[in-house]
Amino acid sequence: MLYVLKFIHIFALVFGAGSGITNGILASRIIRNPNPGPPPEMVVALMKTMGKIGPIAMILLWLSGLGLVFVEYGTLDIGLLFYLKLAGATLALVTVLYIARMAMQAEAAGVPPDLKKIKRLSHVVWLGVITAVTFAIVMFN
């Protein structure tokens, strides 16, 4: 069970990071496009898919992370470094869900999402992820 949970934890991180990097690069290219206009349909479809993978990966990180804690320690009370990791993970989760909500609202209204705002918020997600990874490495090495 422990290995399955670790596998899910690391793979969720890989998929979440991959989707975030992909959408970050595409958003930068669209924002900096010298000939503004709607991006090609294939790019929009790719961004929507990546935009779904990100929140799913983040939720899997949380579910597998909670599973790991309970299998390994049986309690969430495992020290300050872990709480710092959880602070980063919480920041990342809340921001990813907020971005997903923004994207869904834009889609429902039939307008393009505010890519500049999403790009700024994605930096907050990275801050949370980097914090969570850093304290995970320090704590669980």
Q: Which CB, 46 or 90, lies closer to ligand HEM?
A: 90
Q: List interacting residues with ligand HEM (CB under 6 A).
A: 6, 9, 13, 61-62, 65-66, 68-69, 72, 86, 89, 92, 128-129, 132-133, 136-137, 140-141
Shortest separation between residue 7's beta carbon and ligand HEM, angstroms: 11
Residue number of the CB closest to ligand HEM reads 65
Burial 57-91 (b: 16+ CB within 10 A, else e): bbebbbebbebbbeeeeeeeeeeeebebbbebbeb
Q: Which CB, 11 or 62, lies closer to ligand HEM?
A: 62
Q: Which CB, 30 or 136, lies closer to ligand HEM?
A: 136
Q: Please give the single-letter amino acid code of residue 22.
A: T
